[in-house]
């Protein structure tokens, strides 16, 4: 059976303890926790420096049976200092996370490549894999750009993260994944959306952060995309949507899981 994860962005205001409860209520196998703010001022409940809260999160994971899939979201920018990322990566590893989610957002190619390789080395020292997500409004904005960066790094613990919204908004097609080494794609992020995206940069950012749809409630060719991905990979639900907001987090977890399973089990048209 396909393993399912609840990504923190789906309910980004939830404390990690609440997120774990929501994941458990929905029967998710995993969750992903934000331990690093993508950009200054972005939402973050900062627990990395709070040893007692980290212990509580570890206990809640153990008691609930939910495992930690990944931590997010490291945006490699001109001001990135890798040593500042050691603590959240160490905390993520201590909680059992297998992956670190990273985005390339630096217009200096050499510096970006150096920081990506250094981050892979840092994460690798904790037994973690770095997953590079391409985003249509960042420096690494395409599937090919992500593949090139991973190849350039030469690191064995580097992979490419497919986010369905960003995949289609970048202009990629499912067939573009043909021939891609399965080892580069250990899991992916799933959501739905209208077929055609917003025109402006700010509108695209708004859509990505707050206005996605649950799988099966939009127009993206998700089933076709899944046919080109390795069979059995973990699916992480990243769907911040008005359909969930305002409800108790446990209820959000149940509704999200129900929609995801309904999509996965629906007969093909």
Which two tokens mark 132?
């590079």
Task: Using the CB atoms, write b or e for 169-191: b if 16+ within 10 Å.
Answer: bbebebebbeebeeebbbbbbbb
Instruction: Quick: pLDDT tens for 174-227.
Output: 999 999 999 999 999 999 999 999 989 899 999 999 999 999 999 999 999 999
Q: In sequence order, what DSSP letters do the residues of 215-230 get, joined into one string?
A: TTSS-S-HHHHHHTSP
Q: What is the pTM of this model?
A: 0.95
Q: Which CATH architecture has domain 4-265?
A: Alpha-Beta Barrel (3.20)
Q: In sequence order, what DSSP letters do the residues of 107-141 get, joined into one string?
A: S-HHHHHHHHHHHHHHHHTTT-EEEEE--TTSSS-
Question: Facing residues of 131 across strands?
Answer: 101, 159
The H or E element containing residue 203 is: helix 201-210
Q: Which residues of the chain have pLDDT under 50?
A: none
Which two tokens mark 81?
């200092």
Q: Locate the domains of the chain by residue range.
A: 4-265
Question: Facing residues of 191 across strands?
Answer: none
Separation CA 30–CA 20 (nearest Å)? 9
User: Which residue in the block uniquely carries the two structure tokens 């108790």?
Assistant: 248
Question: Alpha-carbon Rg of the chain, whole angstroms?
Answer: 17
Contact (CB, 8 A) for 224 and 197:
no
Question: Facing residues of 31 across strands?
Answer: 6, 68
What angle do helix axes 143-153 and 109-124 make, rounded to 10 degrees? 60
Question: Facing residues of 213 across strands?
Answer: 192
Give the pLDDT score at 105.
Answer: 96
Give the pLDDT score at 269.
Answer: 53
CB within 8 Å of 217: residues ≥ 6 apart: 192, 243, 259
């Amino acid at each position: 059976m396909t393993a399912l994860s609840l990504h923190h962005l789906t309910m980004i205001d939830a404390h990690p303890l609440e997120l774990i409860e929501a994941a458990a209520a929905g029967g998710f196998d995993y969750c992903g926790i934000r331990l690093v703010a993508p950009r200054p001022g972005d939402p973050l409940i900062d627990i990395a420096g709070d040893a007692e809260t980290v212990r509580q999160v570890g206990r809640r994971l153990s008691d609930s049976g939910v495992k930690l899939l990944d931590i997010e979201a490291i945006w490699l920018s001109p001001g990135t200092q890798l040593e500042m990322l050691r603590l959240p990566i160490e905390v993520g590893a201590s909680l059992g996370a297998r992956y670190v989610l990273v985005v390339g957002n630096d217009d200096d190619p050499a510096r970006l490549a150096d920081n990506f390789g250094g981050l892979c080395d840092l994460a690798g020292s904790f037994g973690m894999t770095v997953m590079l997500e391409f985003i249509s409004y960042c420096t690494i904005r395409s599937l090919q750009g992500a593949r090139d960066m991973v190849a350039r790094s030469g690191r064995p613990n580097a992979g490419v993260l497919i986010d369905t919204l960003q995949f289609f908004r970048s202009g990629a097609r499912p067939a573009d994944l043909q021939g891609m080494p399965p080892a580069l794609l250990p899991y992916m992020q799933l959501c739905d959306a209208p077929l055609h995206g917003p025109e402006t940069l700010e509108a695209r950012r708004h859509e990505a952060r707050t206005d996605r749809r649950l799988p099966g409630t939009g127009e993206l060719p998700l089933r076709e995309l899944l046919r080109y991905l390795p069979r059995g990979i973990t699916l992480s639900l990243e769907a911040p949507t008005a359909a969930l907001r305002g409800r108790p987090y446990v209820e959000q977890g149940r509704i999200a899981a129900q929609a995801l399973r309904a999509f996965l089990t629906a007969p093909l048209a």
